[in-house]
Chains A and B, each alone.
Chain A
């Protein structure tokens, strides 16, 4: 299925949770936050939250700033 990930379309397997996509992207050990369709998804729900086709996912992390 197709999703939008950090502004870019991406093809991923069906039945994919947030935990699984973070693993696929090799981001499982990085401190980050995830938003799906403008809603923040708490870390505790990453394993159970299943993505759907067309979802708009944002993965963010802390960077230098003032």
Chain B
């Protein structure tokens, strides 16, 4: 993606885990190389020996992708990206996510487009969370975003790929990696996304809220690989009626 090369097609978030130990264990099990983080105000006047996420997920071992989650307008999102770049010593890869509504967490597409224009001009490599709308996806690509990341279903919903046809249309139109971001609930959802031809899948809640997050992270690791290989292999055509796999002729019970 852009000038970067990654071996894993799974991208994972760091939210909702029991603690940082579990976060790290799950991320290692997932095989993910790109790991999203949020940026928030440092607690002032409280204990300063609190563990720090970046000590558990070091930026020399993982590609840290700061997100703009929690931003509901262009200005805030741009500010957060600039802070993220400074936090990570000039690292320019960011996940742009401008939200519109707290219930659905659907993107504010108008401000997403505005922010993407500003950030691309400022030299950021923008991976952008958006609707599963092929027209908007193309607009964001034309602006210069490094990756288009349509939702499969609302963030944290675990509902799976709700509109596979739109995802396929977005992929067919795109010349940059399309990564499903949000909505995956279990391993089969991730596999379906990859079978559709996605370049990758970004997920957080599906792993973190599993009863056993580390086991689910392992499952997702395999699911992404399985889906990608199935996509490359090219699935058989679907047909309405049976097609025997064993020879019909020369069965011993056959009567002349």
Candidate in A33, A38, A63, A65 with the most chain B CB atoms within 10 angstroms: A65
- The 8 A CB mask of B180-224 against A (1 = contact, 0 = none) is 001000000000000000000011110000000000000000000
Report if A33-B86 is in contact (Cβ < 8 Å); known contacts: A6-B42, A66-B69: yes
A64 touching B83 by the CB < 8 A rule? no
B54 touching A31 by the CB < 8 A rule? yes
Q: Does A58 contact B (CB under 8 A)?
A: yes
Contacts of B54 in A (CB 8 A): 31, 61-62
Q: Does A5 contact B (CB under 8 A)?
A: yes
A65 touching B44 by the CB < 8 A rule? no
CA distance A1 to B73 in the complex (A): 32
Interface size class of A (residues with CB under 8 A): 20 to 34
Contacts of A60 in B (CB 8 A): 39-42, 83, 87
How many residues of chain B get a CB closer than 8 Å to chain A's CBs?
A: 38
Q: Does B120 contact A (CB under 8 A)?
A: no
- The 8 A CB mask of A16-57 against B (1 = contact, 0 = none) is 000000000111001111110010101100000000000000
Contacts of A33 in B (CB 8 A): 39, 83-84, 86-87
B48 touching A26 by the CB < 8 A rule? yes
B41 touching A62 by the CB < 8 A rule? no
Work out how many contacts link A and B, with CB atoms closer than 8 A: 104
Q: Does B82 contact A (CB under 8 A)?
A: yes
B42 touching A66 by the CB < 8 A rule? no
Which of B40, B85, B204 touches A63 (beta carbons < 8 Å)?
B40
Contacts of A64 in B (CB 8 A): 13-17, 23, 37-38, 53
- The 8 A CB mask of B210-250 against A (1 = contact, 0 = none) is 00000000000000000000000000000000000000000
Output the least CB separation between B102 and chain A (Å): 15
Output the least CB separation between B228 and chain A (Å): 22
CA distance A33 to B87 in the complex (A): 5
Output the least CB separation between A62 and chain B (Å): 4
Query: Quick one: closest B residue to A59, CB to CB?
Result: B42
Output the least CB separation between A57 and chain B (Å): 10
Candidate in B16, B44, B45, B67 with the most chain A CB atoms within 10 angstroms: B44
Output the least CB separation between B128 and chain A (Å): 15
Give 21 CB contacts A-B under 8 Å. Answer: A5-B44, A25-B48, A30-B42, A31-B52, A33-B87, A35-B79, A59-B42, A59-B44, A60-B87, A61-B39, A61-B40, A61-B52, A62-B52, A63-B38, A63-B39, A64-B13, A64-B17, A65-B37, A66-B38, A66-B155, A66-B182
Which positions in B face A, CB cutoff 8 Å?
13-17, 23, 36-42, 44-45, 48, 52-54, 64, 66-67, 69, 79, 82-87, 89, 155-156, 182, 202-205
18 new A-B pairs (CB below 8 Å) besides A61-B53, A64-B38, A65-B204? A5-B44, A6-B41, A25-B45, A25-B48, A27-B48, A40-B83, A43-B89, A59-B41, A60-B40, A61-B54, A62-B37, A62-B53, A63-B14, A64-B53, A65-B38, A66-B14, A66-B36, A66-B203
